[in-house]
Chain A
Amino acid sequence: MYGFEALTFNIHGGYLEAIVRGHRAGLLTTADYNNLCQCENLDDIKMHLSATKYGSYLQNEPSPLHTTTIVEKCTLKLVDDYKHMLCQATEPMSTFLEYIRYGHMIDNVVLIVTGTLHERDVQELIEKCHPLGMFDSIATLAVAQNMRELYRLVLVDTPLAPYFSECLTSEDLDDMNIEIMRNTLYKAYLEDFYKFCQKLGGATSEIMSDLLAFEADRRAVNITINSIGTELTREDRKKLYSNFGLLYPYGHEELAICEDIDQVRGVMEKYPPYQAIFSKMSYGESQMLDKAFYEEEVRRLCLAFEQQFHYAVFFAYMRLREQEIRNLMWISECVAQNQKSRIHDSVVYMF
């Protein structure tokens, strides 16, 4: 339903929309990627990036660079952008922006818990966490022994607390459990975010529904593929799918009983939007699926910028930046390890 967003949107959102569109103009283009792909070493990459928005973040780095430094600095730029927007935002946009973080929070929680399980140093783990998903007591996660403790000790103070209601078991943590926890949390998060966007209404709900539905479907496919050959039962698997999206509900039922990748393919090809993704792959292949999904996601995210007066541009910008950082990381790694022939395997071009 369209309200009169054009009439009132700019009162609170105009400045930030302008800001985010400005940021979008700073995203690397295909020409930039072509240049980056020709770099001989990391210094070349730094030199090329110095002409982009990353310039001021990299300029004071001493010369023997590492991929991690580049990624860290680029992420810092993303975080700075995000914080600036969050500072300027009013309700309900600030809540919307907060929602964007929750995914990273879930990832960080899982990272720390898994790390502690394998007896890694907490400080080291914290350095690996995504800065967007940080919260005060994150390091305390290491203390917890099982999910109930995890929840009771730490997460009850975080925005993630409501998502925990479905995975409160007293089982000890192990890899399988953690993975299930991650997916349950993600499911709850996506559903909550979806509901929130529906509540916002207007173009925001329309575009965000599309983006989140895609995200949910992608997760469903990934869960299915990853759980093939594990001890996860069909009912458990089905419980992990989010309750919205194009595949809901009939697709989920079919996915839940898939036993190999070709069956997944058979299910997905019934849905026209995903037909194109799967038709690109040969039978029995799943490596390229990630990239195909990323490309489709980027395409949809870019389309979000075609409309005005909605919040999905913020989501799209954050996601595109993250994709860009993934690209940069891949390119840097390839350059650093002299694997330039593989650069094109994983880079997703945006504009």
Chain B
Amino acid sequence: MGESGGGGCCPPMDLMRSEPMQLVQLIVPMESAHLTVSYLGDLGLVQFKDLNSDKSPFQRTYAAQIKRCGEMARKIRFFKDQMSKAGVLAKEMLEKENDIDLDDVEVKLGELEAELVEINANNDKLQRSYNELMEYKLVLQKAGEFFSSAHRSATAQQRETESQHGGEDLLESPLLQEEKSIDSTKQVKLGFLTGLVPREKSMVFERILFRATRGNIFIRQTVIEDPVIDPNSGEKAEKNVFVVFYSGERAKSKILKICEAFGANRYPFSEDLGKQAQMITEVSGRLAELKTTIDAGLGQRNILLQTIGDKFELWNLKVRKEKAIYHTLNMLSLDVTKKCLVAEGWSPVFASKEIQDALQRAAVDSNSQVGSIFQVLRTKELPPTYFRTNKFTSAIQEIVDAYGVAKYQEANPGVFTIVTFPFLFAVMFGDWGHGICLLLATMYLILREKKLSSQKLGDIMEMAFGGRYVIMMMSLFSIYTGLIYNEFFSIPYPLFATSAYDCRDASCSEATTIGLIKVRDTYPFGLDPVWHGTRSELPFLNSLKMKMSILLGVSQMNLGIIMSYFNARFFKSSVNIWFQFIPQMIFLNSLFGYLSVLIIIKWCTGSQADLYHVMIYMFLSPTDELGENQLFPHQKTVQLALLFLALVSVPCMLLPKPFILKKQHEARHQGQSYAPLDETDESLHVETSGGSHGHEEFEFSEIFVHQLIHTIEFVLGAVSNTASYLRLWALSLAHSELSSVFYEKVLLLAWGYNNVLILIVGIIVFIFATVGVLLVMETLSAFLHALRLHWVEFQNKFYEGDGYKFAPFTFILAANEDE
């Protein structure tokens, strides 16, 4: 740790400071470049910089290879699509075969694709003729029905007209006869077409036909109940069978064109009943024949897909890896001699050895004559932030990172958040019954960790699973605070001893008026259960929790300011210690630190002093006598001194720092202009220790305004942040009141009816209210408030959070990445 940061003040702590990073340069010979990047990807500890950002993607060195990979990825997607359509599952990858060659894969993929496409084409052809025959069969059936029914109705009509002849007027009969004779002469010339038309177009089809032939057609349509597979598109469609009668060749050509335009498939049909039957049997025979052929084809296709499925995952992974490798290779710049590639990137200092190892292995494995060169570059760029987390700390670190990624090597609030976050949560969620429920739920997630982590969970479930260890900590702490508050689903239990108080006499009549009498030793741990349900329960608990919130808040804010001291020590900035840390400490503690001391004194001495009064009049009239509110001797003098200190510390925060910074800048500037020769060494030293301020333009007014804002924020923040910690009390109160309402107004009320049915309903309502409101919603709100207390009240005392995350090149991401 000491090597690069220079701050030797604290022992190495993994999570306190981010890993020391270095900018490394790798010079890799062309022939081993691919293998090197592949090994580094396995290692996953180098973040490559894009050295070709000015070049467009296809101008880069390995654009052709990336195109190849893209093509292979396309084939793999095609296979995946085909497999999922055929219901073939890809086999899980059992062993890692890393020695497959990309070229072989490419050839293999090409062959398989061609084969699959051919089989598909053949199948499509067969399927198409099958569908056509199906349609034909339908046309034969429906049109046949139509013709026979028309025949029947025609004969019936004939009979009717014949019967009418007898009864009708004589006047009309010659006309009718004439008509009939015309009919019979025309009927011979009528032609007809049969076919299928999509149902949604059938109305328009009929209309257009009518218009085009000026009404000189007769069309008849029948609905087909089941959807038919259209031979052209291969999709299911609802269709109608139609028969069109027309006269004349011109009409026929028009109708044919319209049929074509509407995608209506036409089929030949004969009027002769015998022929119809013959056709139907013929078609059915061919259908059966085709069916077997198609089935055989499908079987063959499934076998092919099965073989693809066996290797699918392997190929998929390989292609993705190769693509990632070539993308990385494209970020490297080509040496002038075109014999080697130059890579630059960030890596943690501890990984130097492993990287060098990987380079060496790659050089040996690729039979390269020259090894790769590994060297550390000096830079003034801010390195990325990298914390080595494990599954326990990563969720906590996520909470901190969600606010802002730590600046390189600045103190990481995550270390303390591990404990303080669940603790502050539990202060608001103190109930050991609820805590146990939460613990059981999260233990389920933790015990089934292996299984759950491999499968895909829903959005909300994923979040709960990711934070399982945080939730576990939260539940443990809320069991602890629940024991202190003595609440189990809002009911107190005398777990540790019997209550210290008892009634004054046997009748217990004075219990609510005068009070109880202390008969035993003080209750050993937490709240005495006898407080529950008494008249003074709320005032007592409120006063306790309010004071406790302030104590917790002041100590956490102090911790935050102390962290800023560690930061200042680490970055060797004495200005920040003397004119930021010390006045801040004095200001906060002379006001709210003093309040905390008063609270503790009041608790210890049992004094009746009014702390509001003390604090308010400490500002309004500091010279007045305290009277009965005096808690300790010389309190007035102490208060005057503290007030003076607080007032003095404000200008100390505001004024000196900008002036000192200005002076430092001028000194540095002078040094540079007078001694240009020494400058190289000097400035490097300054840069590494003093951050990147070295070469920035110094704008005094800006710095001053900045400092002014900081000071005002801190002074006002000291008041408002302390008040903000009162949310601990408020939420804790809300939680206990809510749970006691559910207990008393639902469970006890139901119990009082002495009816099993009502009791069951009551229990169900109680369970749902407890789970829905108390366990889910209250957890969420307490979580959010704890989050706010950490992000705002704690972290604004020291945390810059303007760094960026270390994003190494690794294959783990490439493998998990989904389309």
A residues with a Cβ closer than 8 A to B are 35, 38-40, 43-44, 47-48, 50-51, 59-63, 122-123, 136-143, 152-154, 157
Contacts and interface: CB of A to CB of B under 8 A. Distances in A.
Given A38-B56, A140-B262, 19 more contacts: A35-B56, A38-B59, A47-B66, A47-B70, A59-B70, A59-B77, A61-B74, A62-B74, A122-B261, A123-B260, A136-B204, A137-B204, A138-B261, A140-B208, A143-B261, A153-B208, A154-B208, A157-B204, A157-B207
B660 to A, nearest CB: 46
B165 interface: no
Nearest to A121: B260
B56 A137 contact: no
A60 B261 contact: no
Given A60-B78, A152-B211, A157-B204, A47 B258 contact: no
B245 to A, nearest CB: 19
Contacts of A142: 257, 261
B67 A43 contact: yes
Given A63-B71, A122-B261, A153-B212, A48 B254 contact: no
Contacts of B78: 60
B74 A59 contact: yes
A141 B262 CA distance: 11
B445 to A, nearest CB: 36
A139 B57 contact: no
Contacts of B56: 35, 38, 48
A140 B258 contact: yes
Contacts of B63: 44, 47
The 10 closest A-B pairs by CB, nearest first: A139-B261, A35-B56, A140-B261, A44-B58, A143-B257, A153-B211, A47-B58, A140-B208, A143-B254, A63-B71
Nearest to A32: B56
B788 interface: no
Nearest to B257: A143
B201 interface: yes
Contacts of A137: 204, 208, 261-262
B193 to A, nearest CB: 15
Contact of A48 (B57, B71, B204): B57
A60 B77 contact: yes
A136 B70 contact: no
12 contacts: A47-B58, A47-B66, A60-B77, A60-B78, A122-B260, A123-B260, A137-B262, A140-B261, A140-B262, A142-B261, A143-B257, A152-B211
Nearest to B71: A63
A138 B63 CA distance: 45
Interface in B204-240: 204, 207-208, 211-212
Best-buried of A35, A123, A137 by chain B (most CB within 10 Å):
A137
B260 A139 contact: yes
Contacts of B204: 136-137, 157
A60 to B, nearest CB: 6
Nearest to B117: A62
A139 B262 contact: yes
Contacts of A140: 208, 212, 257-258, 261-262
Nearest to B113: A62
Interface string B64-79: 0011001100100110
A11 B212 CA distance: 46
Contacts of B258: 140, 143
Contacts of A50: 70
Contacts of A38: 56, 58-59
Nearest to B205: A137
Contacts of A62: 74
Contacts of B77: 59-60
A122 B260 CA distance: 9
B67 A47 contact: yes
A177 to B, nearest CB: 21
A185 B71 CA distance: 46
A143 B212 contact: yes
A39 B58 CA distance: 8
A62 to B, nearest CB: 7
A127 B113 CA distance: 28
A48 B66 CA distance: 12
Contacts of A122: 257, 260-261
Contacts of A154: 208
